[in-house]
């Protein structure tokens, strides 16, 4: 095992089984409803989204947004900025936000509010990881959730620290000495 891995939290095999299951549920829910516009939240969701859309068996198109609420690489500021907006309109479209991880819920709440003003036919969320312990927005709905995880710093399968570790096909807990600044607890 790599020296920076504290623990493999979710194996590649378990992730792929869950992604297949999520794709099946989404396909069943959107059967006969028309095309889905899947919106991937960059950069963390790109690997999850690629695998997810290959498992959705109803018509869909994709678009991407880039949003930031992080001052550094591991603590949110609470201020949400849209760095890249959608390329296509979503009016009267069934929109599925594809997110890598939801922790406080502040960013996702803001994103849902922004997209709701664009009059989609429906607006749902699919998140791979959910940190319920860290949730600030208590009434936030995640329509399709892969895994509930503890409040630990995780990377892999698209999630990063300082743009590293995204390429690992599993999700793991990064040892604190690899993401904490000197003097941090």
Catalytic, 103? Answer yes
pLDDT at 75: 55
* Residue 56 reports pLDDT greater than 90: yes
State mean pLDDT over 33-46. Answer: 95
Work out the pLDDT band at 139, boundaries 50, 70, 90.
Answer: very high
Residue 70: strand pairing partners = 76
Condensed to tens digits (0 to 9), the pLDDT of residues 62-110 reads: 999 999 875 555 555 567 788 999 999 999 999 999 999 999 999 999 9
SS3 category, 102: strand
In which residue are the tokens 């018509």 written?
59
Question: Residue 128 CB: number of other CB atoms within 10 A?
Answer: 30
Quote the pLDDT of residue 72. 52
Check whether 182 has a pLDDT greater than 70.
Answer: no
What is the predicted pLDDT for the residue at 185? Answer: 45
Question: Which position has the token pair 């009059």?
Answer: 119
Longest CA pairwise span in the chain (Å):
56
Question: What dihedral angle (degrees, nearest 10) is formed by the CA atoms of 25, 12, 40, 109?
Answer: 80
Q: Which pLDDT band, with edges at 50, 70 and 90, does 112 fall under?
A: very high
- C-alpha closest to that of 136 among 102, 112, 107, 106: 106
| Integer Cα distance of 81 and 109 in angstroms | 13
The pLDDT of residue 63 is 98
* Confidence check: pLDDT of 47 > 60: yes
Residue 36 β-bridge partners: 60, 94
What is the mean pLDDT of the segment spanning 17-36?
96
pLDDT attached to residue 81:
83
Residue 66 to residues 7, 143, 161, Cα–Cα distance (Å): 29, 21, 16
Per-chain mean pLDDT for the chain: 92
CATH (one of 3.40.50.300, 3.20.20.70, 3.40.50.2020, 1.10.760.10) for 12-151: 3.40.50.2020
Percentage of the chain with pLDDT > 90?
Answer: 84
Catalytic residue among 103, 143, 151, 160: 103
* β-strand pairing of 122-130 with 144-148: parallel
pLDDT for position 146: 98
| Chain center to CA of 94 | 18
Write down the domain spans for the chain: 12-151
* Residue 80: predicted pLDDT: 77
* Spatial contact of 51 and 66, defined as CB atoms under 8 Å apart: no
């Amino acid at each position: 095992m790599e020296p920076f891995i504290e623990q493999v939290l979710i194996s590649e095999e378990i992730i792929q089984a869950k992604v297949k299951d999520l794709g099946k549920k989404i396909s069943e829910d959107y059967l006969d409803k028309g095309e889905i516009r899947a919106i991937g939240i960059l950069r963390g969701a790109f690997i999850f989204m690629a695998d997810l859309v290959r498992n959705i068996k109803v018509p869909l198109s994709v678009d991407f947004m880039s949003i930031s609420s992080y001052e550094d690489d591991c603590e949110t500021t609470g201020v949400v900025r849209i760095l890249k907006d959608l390329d296509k309109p979503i009016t009267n479209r069934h929109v599925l936000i594809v997110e890598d991880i939801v922790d406080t819920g502040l960013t996702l709440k803001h994103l849902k509010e922004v997209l709701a003003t664009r009059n989609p036919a429906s607006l749902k969320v699919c998140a791979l990881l959910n940190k319920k312990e860290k949730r600030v927005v208590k009434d936030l709905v995640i329509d399709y959730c892969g895994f509930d995880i503890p409040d630990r710093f995780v990377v892999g399968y698209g999630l990063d620290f300082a743009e590293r570790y995204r390429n690992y096909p599993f999700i793991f807990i990064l040892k604190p000495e690899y993401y904490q600044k000197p003097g941090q607890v």
